[in-house]
């Protein structure tokens, strides 16, 4: 038999490596930005076209590369960061595997231009699908420019897996935030399709957080500072009253590298215990500095997970530091009113005794006595005249003329309320009121000919609201109720962008917007039946749903909006319903097109036949 094991060609190996390194355009952005940072750049420019599918370009003013280094940078496992295995535990740089540029070049058209400060001319290299098309001398500024065009041009199957431009741009923005937050001393610019999205100057950490997440973020931040032999912590946590339904403002940086750590995230949650509402998450922007020898960052292809030597100690220090900051800055809701000097008590009143106010009371006044002589208070207010109570007998004038038979007289007098009172307590009403009843304030139980029907009230109401909202969005004829005072809500620029994208669909459900900016929105009308206090909860839930399940190009944003609003406004489990409400929900559910399942495809009701019940007694 012939040998069957063979070495893979370099271009195939590079494409396989690209599967780990490059999942989407955001992965290219991350690798190129980290290379620019490792080149000691002080200014970095990111240029994106069509959410990275057409172009991802990173321009820096770093130290550049020589002709030989520029050519070698596209070879697999070629790196300047490590020379031996021991160096893996003393890393202070981002890229160290030497696979990033080689993997990107295997699946895209790459143009590299680079020049060192001491060189008169730079180098320009063009590579397509791992094949070097040209290498020549070029006039270029000091630093490096890498342009990645037509990502996945030679792997159509991978390109088909990319989402819509909106989704891919959001992933790119997330990666940009992570890199920019980790390096506030570096100036960043971000352009998409020719428009500037971010312009971040060289600044301190608080300013960088505020520039990225909006001006109102400044009042939300609580500083956290702690330094021990094991760990140094610096950064900020958000005040509990500004907590969010999403985890979009949670950032851990270990030695200036963004990481995800559920274990350390739990430490933050423990520090906020008792301060957060159910379903809400704290915001934090924390930099952790540890000895590189105590961590292993080479355990995950994307390098977003790190293994610590002593996680338990880090957990305890982190929880204590955050708890200390929250206590030190006296975290509590604050009422901030404008101070008016007219409300101050003058110093001349300091030792002055307070005079008891004199109150005149006419103790002889009796409203049931018709006095001939008016009281002293009545004399002062001569316009007031007390109605005579002697005329009450005139109400029954006319009853006497009907005859002397009192029984017959009153048998002809009827009152409209009597018949209604009798019908409420009639036997038939008692029977109909028992057709449904509520079980543990969660389920509605009703009888069937063949047995019993049990409805989950929350899921059933979600289905009813979902179909109602979807209908309003489709036919664009929703009814709004105007607010007496406009409602102003503040969001981060990224969240405001989500609301802007869904603004048209929201208006079709009944919302009326008077102003939408990067700092927030102003609402003057809401859908009928939606309380004003629920508006912020609905929009926060909507933003959470969009960020966790972003609508794709072939996925309806209106559908997601209807689901999110139905989830926010549906009757919650634990809410008591009277018989009328139970029956109305029951009838509304079975009037739906798909009464069997909730908007999230979970059953809304179950049935139990008499046979099923009888089996329980066997």
Structural domains of the chain, with CATH: 10-200 (3.30.565.10), 212-328 (3.30.230.10), 451-605 (3.30.1370.100)
Lowest mean pLDDT among 460-474, 502-516, 537-551: 537-551
Average confidence (pLDDT) over 76-100: 61
Q: What share of the chain is helix, strand, coil (3-state, %, to 5)?
A: 40, 20, 40
How high is the pLDDT of residue 553? 41
How high is the pLDDT of residue 223? 92
Higher-pLDDT residue of 475, 465: 465
Taking the C-alpha atoms of residue 243 and residue 220, their distance in angstroms, rounded to an integer, is 9
pLDDT at residue 531 is higher than 60: yes
How high is the pLDDT of residue 448? 82
Average confidence (pLDDT) over 81-93: 58
How high is the pLDDT of residue 421? 42
Taking the C-alpha atoms of residue 76 and residue 106, their distance in angstroms, rounded to an integer, is 11
DSSP letter string, 184-195:
TTSEEEEEETTE
pLDDT at residue 280 is higher than 80: yes
How high is the pLDDT of residue 383? 46
pLDDT at residue 391 is higher than 90: no
Average confidence (pLDDT) over 498-517: 82
Predicted confidence band at 434 (pLDDT cuts at 50, 70, 90)? low
Distance of CA 77 to the CA centre of its chain: 40
> 339-353: per-residue pLDDT in tens?
555 556 666 666 777
How does DSSP classify residue 597?
B
How high is the pLDDT of residue 187? 94
Q: What is the mean pLDDT of the chain?
A: 80
> 93-122: per-residue pLDDT in tens?
665 555 778 888 888 999 999 999 999 999
How high is the pLDDT of residue 251? 93
How high is the pLDDT of residue 549? 61
Average confidence (pLDDT) over 18-46: 87
pLDDT at residue 10 is higher than 90: no
> 540-565: per-residue pLDDT in tens?
878 877 776 655 444 566 777 788 88
How high is the pLDDT of residue 361? 80
pLDDT at residue 51 is higher than 60: yes
How high is the pLDDT of residue 571? 87
How high is the pLDDT of residue 389? 54
> 158-216: per-residue pLDDT in tens?
888 888 888 888 889 999 999 999 999 999 999 999 899 899 999 999 999 999 988 88
What percent of the chain has pLDDT above 90?
22
> Exposed e or buried b for every residue in 165-189, given b needs 16+ CB within 10 A?
bbbbbbbbbbbbbbbbbbbbebbbb
Average confidence (pLDDT) over 301-322: 84
Residue for token digits 């929900």? 585
How high is the pLDDT of residue 322? 92
How high is the pLDDT of residue 418? 46
- Tell which residue, 287, 254, 281, 249, has the closest CA to residue 268: 281
> 576-604: per-residue pLDDT in tens?
888 888 888 888 898 888 888 888 888 99
How does DSSP classify residue 324?
H
* Token output for 578: 């009277």
Cβ-based neighbours of 188, under 8 Å, separated by 6 or more = 43, 44, 45, 46, 176, 179, 180, 198, 199, 200
Tell me which range, 68-77, 198-207, 382-391, 446-455, is most confidently predicted by mean pLDDT: 198-207
Average confidence (pLDDT) over 11-16: 68
How high is the pLDDT of residue 345? 62
pLDDT at residue 427 is higher than 50: no
* Token output for 471: 């209908």
Strands (E), 448-555: 451-456, 480-490, 512-516, 520-527
Predicted confidence band at 87 (pLDDT cuts at 50, 70, 90)? low
| Contact predicate 116/63, CB 8 Å | yes
Predicted confidence band at 293 (pLDDT cuts at 50, 70, 90)? confident
């Amino acid at each position: 038999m012939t040998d069957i094991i063979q070495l893979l060609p370099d271009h195939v190996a590079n494409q396989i490596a690209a599967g780990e390194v490059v999942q989407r355009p955001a992965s290219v952005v991350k690798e190129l930005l980290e290379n620019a940072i490792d080149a000691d750049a002080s200014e970095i420019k990111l240029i994106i076209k069509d959410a990275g599918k057409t172009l991802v370009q990173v321009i820096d003013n770093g130290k550049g590369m020589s002709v030989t280094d520029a050519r070698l940078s596209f070879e697999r496992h070629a790196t300047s960061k490590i020379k031996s295995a021991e160096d893996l535990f003393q890393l202070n740089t981002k890229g160290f595997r030497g696979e990033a540029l080689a993997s990107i070049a295997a699946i895209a058209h790459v143009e590299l231009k680079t020049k060192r400060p001491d060189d008169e001319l730079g180098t320009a290299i063009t590579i397509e699908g791992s094949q070097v098309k040209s290498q020549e001398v070029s006039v270029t500024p000091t630093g490096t420019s890498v342009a990645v065009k037509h990502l996945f041009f030679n792997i159509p199957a991978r390109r088909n897996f990319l989402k819509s431009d909106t989704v891919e741009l959001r992933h790119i923005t997330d990666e940009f935030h992570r890199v920019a937050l980790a390096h506030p001393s570096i100036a960043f610019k971000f352009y998409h399709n020719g428009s500037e999205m971010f312009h971040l100057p060289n600044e301190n950490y608080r300013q960088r957080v505020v520039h990225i997440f909006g001006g109102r973020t400044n009042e939300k931040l609580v500083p956290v500072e702690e330094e021990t032999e094991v760990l140094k912590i610096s950064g900020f946590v958000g005040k509990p009253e500004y907590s969010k339904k999403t985890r979009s403002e949670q950032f851990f940086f270990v030695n200036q590298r963004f990481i995800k750590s559920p274990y350390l995230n739990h430490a933050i949650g423990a520090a906020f215990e008792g301060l957060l509402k159910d379903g809400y998450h704290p915001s934090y922007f924390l930099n952790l500095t540890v000895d590189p020898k105590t961590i292993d960052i080479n355990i995950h292809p994307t390098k977003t997970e790190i293994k610590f030597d002593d996680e338990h100690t880090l957990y305890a220090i982190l929880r204590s530091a955050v708890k200390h900051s929250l206590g030190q800055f006296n975290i509590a809701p604050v009422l901030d009113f404008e101070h008016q000097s007219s409300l101050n008590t003058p110093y001349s009143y300091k030792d002055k005794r307070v005079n008891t106010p004199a109150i005149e009371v006419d103790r002889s006044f009796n409203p049931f006595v018709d006095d001939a002589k008016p009281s002293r208070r009545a004399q002062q207010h001569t316009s007031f005249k007390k109605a005579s109570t002697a005329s009450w007998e005139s109400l029954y004038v006319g009853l006497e003329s009907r005859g002397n038979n009192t029984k017959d007289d009153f048998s002809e007098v009827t009152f409209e309320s009597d018949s209604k009172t009798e019908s409420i307590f009639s036997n038939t009403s008692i029977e109909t009121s028992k057709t449904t009843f509520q079980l543990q304030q969660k389920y509605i139980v009703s009888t069937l000919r063949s047995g019993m029907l049990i409805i989950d009230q929350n899921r059933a109401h979600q289905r009813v609201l979902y179909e109602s909202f979807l209908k309003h969005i489709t036919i664009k004829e929703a009814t709004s109720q105007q607010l007496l005072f406009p409602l102003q809500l503040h969001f981060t620029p990224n969240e405001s962008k989500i609301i802007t994208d869904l603004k048209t669909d929201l208006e079709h459900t009944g919302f009326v917007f008077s102003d939408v900016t990067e700092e927030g929105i102003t609402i003057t009308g809401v859908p009928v039946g939606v309380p004003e206090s629920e508006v912020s909860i609905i929009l926060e839930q909507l933003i959470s749903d969009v960020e966790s399940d972003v609508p794709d190009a072939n996925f309806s944003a209106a559908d997601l909006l209807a689901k999110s609003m139905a989830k926010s406004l549906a009757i919650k489990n634990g809410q008591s319903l009277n018989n009328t409400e139970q029956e109305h929900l029951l009838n509304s559910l079975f009037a739906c097109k798909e009464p069997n399942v909730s908007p999230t495809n979970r059953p809304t009701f179950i049935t139990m036949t008499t046979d099923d019940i009888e089996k329980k007694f066997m």
